[in-house]
Structure 1
Amino acid sequence: MTAVVLENGNVDTLAEEARLNKISNEEFKIWKKAVPTFYQHISTFKPSLQKHVTNQSKIQKTVAFTDKIFPDRTKGTLTTSVLLALGNDIYEIDVILPIGAHLTGQEASCKVEPQYEAFLKTFEQTKFEPKWRVDNNDTVAKLYYINSNDIKFVAVTNNGSVLWFKDEINTAVTSCLAEPQGASTAIKVNSDISNDLSTIVVVTTSTKESVSTSKIKIIDNVEKVGDEKRTILLNDSFVCETCKFLNGKDTIALCNNKSTIKLWDLNNTEDTPFLEFIDNTEGKLTSIGNSKIVSTLFATGSDNGIIKLWDLRSLSHDKKIEIGKDTESIREVALLSHFDEDPVSDIIFSPSSACKFVTVGRSGNVYHWDMEYLFSKGQDVDKDGKNSDDESIISSVLQAECLSFYHTGGFRRLRTDGSKKNTVACNSIIDDLVCTVDADDLLTVYIPFTARIASDSAN
């Protein structure tokens, strides 16, 4: 199909837009042919929030599930809750599900149809006040639900401060504050918490007059909560885009804006990374996700929608690795992709499954991946990090088999800055339960229905 041109030689923009939309729709129909889009459950909640900010739709938001589980068999419902951070305000909001979302087997059989009416009526009439607040009007960038040692959750702010909150106290009870920065200094903050919740890493990149420096802080979250266990200063203009713990709490990985991942061994006292891993073969790297079950498994995402699954053991033999050049024997465990090259904003591994993770596109769409097909075909890695089967699975087949669900919120999820990082959360108790937050504060809570339709999977 060619562009629609008028007699004067100009392109008819409306007709051209319609033509491109038609092409995109046809491509999408082909792309999602065998991907389930039905829901086991989906509900939306629009809380009426007591606002303390202007231009609320442009304020950064982030969500995290709590471990609240309150079943009510008489009503056939299950209540859980999410933490919602809006600017420097943090809310706890109850959401309701059918009781079968949590129970399994015979326990899941409840003859009572879910009765949502009373809950929803109360929800609509409630003016939610912030339960906690961050001082100095700093913006919350990330929430980590803890519920341990009398601490409910940890908040990391946009200036690099780390704050610990209790349930009954509305201000932070412990803090590890960021160093003051000049007014002309731009700050970028990334953070992660180890799988055992014992350690927090915060990476602050400061840029002034085009010169960037990054500082890594390793912070205690158990014995001396808030204490800096270690600080590593990077002076080589390393602009950190994301950071993650790998290999339990022993290794941290930082990805910069030039598709370079550097890894530090926290058991080593040296401040230099033990591995430099470069992969710009499929666009620029934008995100890293780490498995909560398999300590050496992680994924990278790029700005052209490519997701690669890696095993740390296959990368730890050289000081520097550049994919696509002198390391042909080193390759990803799997390669997947977003529709229409949708850039990868976030990667979140399942807290309860070794095979599942979700990726979030800049569009706000959420992709659910289940790698059981890959691992069941003998493509898992051995003790040396090598594929146990020499024959790799065709990428298109892998894509069709492993993309188990596709959630789209439509154009309402679009934001002016294009960032969807930390706007999606996975529940640690209820398998496949996901919550998303939109720019207008709408919370969407859903569980995908992942069984494939026979006629689709057969084609």
Structure 2
Amino acid sequence: MGGEKINKIRNEEFKIWKKAVPSLYHHISTFKPPYTTYFESVEKIPKAVAFTHKIAPHKESGTMAASMLCSQGSDIYEIEFQLPLGLHAPNENLKDPQYGASFAKVVNNGKLEPKWTYQGETVTKIEYVGGSLADAVVMTASGSLAWFKEDCKVPVFVMEELRGPSTSFSRIHDQGQSLAVNVDFAVSENVETLVKSQQSMASGQQDEHSLLKVVDNAQTPGRPIRTIPVPRTSVTQAIRFLDNHMFCTLSDDSTIRFYDLRGDGKPLWSMADPHDGKLLCLDVSPMIESMFITGSDTGTLKLWDLRTIIACIENKEEPIEIAKVFHSAADPVVDVKFGISSPAEILSVGVSGNVYHWDLEPIFLQENAEGDEIMDAEELQQQCLRFIHTGGGRRQAEFYSQRETVAWHPLISGVVGCVDPDGLLTVYKGFLGKEADSGSVSENEGDAQV
């Protein structure tokens, strides 16, 4: 009887969760590329995704062509797909989209050849920059960087980080096993400068420090400009630019540091958050440069304002976040990304593989609310959590890093791409309205197209 009662309670909890989180999609398409069969245990090979800036509208068919980059091992593939044109131009009078499977062109081509290859390395991050000298920058598991150009399969520039006898074995071990520890890089808004991290070479020693390397990305990509030590840290796992010169970092001491490339290499401000677990990731708003968000291993997301932090530092007070929300079941936050259409739009990824879509506008509206309009924390959480994408394959592999496996499209609002551990690619746009307002589901909504 006890088991039946527990099961009944869980069923009721699921109904409440299902009611609070819509499961419809404006659009969803999936594709299992043929290259996923090239290796055994493909789920253990790191993967990363990024959208290109390529969009080709076809008004006569009501569709548009786009593409995404996906890595597997040392190879990077460009996958073309189709989307309903209404996702990009919702207010125009458009024809109903006329197409079969969104990835039909790839399927019909048969074998898929790599667009780029960085031989002997394992790609862990892709940044599409569309610059004059390179179209994309990639980082590998060793911390090396490579620049790729259209129609050239091998890197046009390389910045290698070699592991030698001086590299701590424990750091290599941690790098391979930990979901939280990883190196990172970021490109400035004008695409002229790049900052990358390098893990410590002296683990456990008194003078241990990781490094930040400022790299040219304009005249001679890959040319080191300067090196900045980060004392008493083993690795800096996240880097983000606020503008052309200022950038922030998150290291494994759960401290966020703000730098100016024009400065002396010392942080302008530093902020530690001793509450709600160890910080694993952060992102900076593309719309409000003073706003950033952090995610922790307890499933906590916190929104911050740099101006408030500076004021607290000057007054010797502990910084307080603007807002705080949580992943379900304390699912650790391994990646977080601001959207492109609203400063309140945020996407976060859990260790479980779940992709959480947030709209923090209800929190901002609460600042001016009075009396009965004020919501409690639980109700506010439900209002902010607009959508969850689970994807069956995303939760199949243990110890699989979900970092860089999910990306917003940089030009089409609300469109997300992700890759599962087994290599399954998904492009979707979640339905963020109420189910009662959604009407009937079209033949392309809610059904994965393989």
> Does TM, normalized by the shorter one, top 0.5?
yes
- Mapped to 1, the partners of 2:154 and 2:391 lie a distance apart of 34
> In the alignment, residue 196 of structure 1 is paired with which amino acid?
N
Select 1:221's aligned residue among 217, 223, 229: 217
For 2:446, the equivalent position in structure 1 comes to none
Name the counterpart of 1:92. Answer: 78
Q: How far is 1:378 from its partner?
A: 5.1
Distance, in Å, in 1 between the alignment partners of 2:183 and 2:202 is: 15
8 Å Cα contact 2:80/2:105 also seen in 1:
no
Aligned to 1:56: 42
- Which range moved further: 163-172 or 404-413? 404-413
Contact persistence 1:286–1:345 (CA under 8 A): yes
* 33, 39, 55: which one aligns with 2:25: 39
Equivalent position amino acid for 1:133 in 2: T
Q: Find out whether 1:327 has 2:311 as its counterpart.
A: no
Instruction: Give the Cα–Cα distance (whole angstroms) in 2 for the partners of residues 420 and 345 of structure 1.
Output: 7
How many residue pairs align between the two structures? 422
1:353 Cα deviation after fit: 2.8
| Distance change >3 Å, CA 376–CA 209, structure 1 → 2 | closer
Instruction: Find 1:338's aligned residue among 314, 321, 327.
Output: 327
The amino acid across from 1:123 in the alignment is: V
1:126 CA drift (Å): 1.5
1:412/1:452 Cα in 2 relative to 1: closer, same or farther (>3 Å)? same
Per the alignment, residue 294 of structure 1 pairs with 288
Question: Are residues 1:200 and 2:184 paired?
Answer: no
Residues 447/179 of structure 1: CA separation in 2 closer, same or farther (3 Å cut): same
What is the rounded CA distance, in whole Å, between the counterparts of 1:315 and 1:261 in structure 2?
11
2:226 alignment partner in structure 1: 230
Give the equivalent residue in structure 2 for 1:278.
272
Query: Residue 257 of structure 2 corresponds to which residue in structure 1?
Result: 262
Secondary structure at the aligned position of 1:336 is classed as strand
Task: Give the drift of 1:208.
Answer: 5.2
Say what the alpha-carbon RMSD is for the aligned residues: 3.0
Provide the C-alpha distance between the structure 2 equivalents of 1:68 and 1:116, rounded to a whole number of angstroms. Answer: 21
**Alpha carbons 1:99, 1:114 under 8 Å: kept:** no
TM-score of the aligned structures, taking structure 1 as reference length: 0.83
How far off is 1:354 after superposition? Answer: 2.2
2-structure distance, mates of 1:403, 1:346: 16
Residues of 2 paired with 1:360 and 1:238: CA distance? Answer: 24
Secondary structure of 1:315 counterpart = helix
Is the aligned partner of 1:73 residue 2:59? yes
Determine the structure 2 residue equivalent to 1:447: 429
- SS of 1:396's partner is helix
Q: 1:98 offset after TM fit, Å? A: 1.8
Matched, 1:165 2:148: yes
* Separation (CA, whole Å) in 2 of partners of 1:68 and 1:432: 16
Task: Tell me the residue number matched to 1:406.
Answer: 388
Write the distance in 2 (CA, Å) between the matches of 1:378 and 1:118.
Answer: 43
The secondary structure found in structure 2 opposite 1:178 is coil
Q: Which residue of 2 aligns with 1:128?
A: 112
What is the CA–CA distance in structure 2 between the aligned matches of 1:56 and 1:40, rounded to whole Å?
Answer: 30
Q: Is the 8 A contact 2:46 2:401 kept in 1?
A: no
**Judging changes above 3 Å, is the alpha-carbon distance between structure 1 residues 343 and 32 closer, same or farther for their aligned structure 2 residues?**
farther
Q: Displacement of 1:331 after TM fit?
A: 1.4
Deviation at 1:23, TM superposition (A): 5.0
Matched, 1:116 2:100: yes
Check conservation: 2:233, 2:252, Cα contact below 8 A: no
Report the CA distance between 1:341 and its aligned residue. Answer: 1.0
Alpha-carbon distance in structure 2 between the residues aligned to 1:208 and 1:101: 50
| More deviation, 155-164/337-346 | 155-164
2:134 equivalent in structure 1:
151
Cα shift readout 1:189-244 (whole Å, capped 9, x = no counterpart):
22222333332221111355644531101122224422222211234244323222
Distance across 1 between alignment mates of 2:320 and 2:203: 38
- Name structure 2 gaps, 5 residues minimum: 176-181, 439-450
User: Quick check: 56-65 or 277-286, which moved more?
Assistant: 277-286
Query: How many Å separate the matches in 2 of 1:236 and 1:454?
Result: 54
Partners of 1:213 and 1:292 in 2: CA distance: 30
Kept after mapping to 2: 8 A contact 1:193/1:199? yes
Higher relative contact order, structure no. (Cα contacts within 8 Å, ≥ 6 residues apart): 2
Asked if structure 2 preserves the Cα contact closer than 8 Å seen for 1:134 and 1:172, the reply is yes
- Give a deviation string over 1:71-113, Cα, whole Å, max 9, x none: 2334332221110111110100111222222223124x21x44
What secondary structure sits across from 1:206 in the alignment? coil
Identity, in percent, stands at 37
8 A Cα contact 1:261 1:277, kept in partner: yes
State the distance in 2 between where 1:50 and 1:398 align: 41
Q: 1:355 Cα deviation (Å)?
A: 2.3
1:373 to 344, 354, 362: 362
Instruction: State the TM-score, normalizing by the size of structure 2.
Output: 0.85
Q: 1:256 to 1:428 in 2, by over 3 A?
A: same
Q: Which amino acid aligns with 1:94?
A: E
Counterpart of 1:316? 310
1:439 shift after superposition: 1.0
The match for 2:417 is: 435
Given that 1:292 and 1:352 are in contact with CA atoms closer than 8 Å, whether structure 2 keeps it comes out as no
User: Could you tell me how far apart the structure 2 residues matched to 1:118 and 1:160 are?
Assistant: 35
CA contact (8 A) 2:198 2:210 kept: yes
Query: Which one is further off, 157-166 or 252-261?
Result: 252-261
Contact 2:405 2:419 in 1 (8 A): yes
Aligned CA distance change for structure 1 residues 21 and 416 (closer, same or farther; 3 Å): farther
Q: Are the counterparts in 1 of residues 355 and 389 from structure 2 also a CA contact under 8 Å? A: yes
Residue 249 (str. 1) matches residue 244 (str. 2) = yes
- 1:124 is displaced (CA, Å) by 5.5
Rounded to whole Å, the distance in 1 between the matches of 2:122 and 2:202 is 21
- After superposition, the Cα gap between the structure-2 partners of 1:81 and 1:405, relative to the gap in structure 1 and judged at 3 Å, is same
| 8 Å contact from structure 1 (residues 352, 429) kept in 2 | no
CA contact (8 A) 2:193 2:215 kept: yes
- Structure 1, unmatched stretches of 5+, are 5-14, 380-390
Counterpart for residue 164 of structure 2: 181
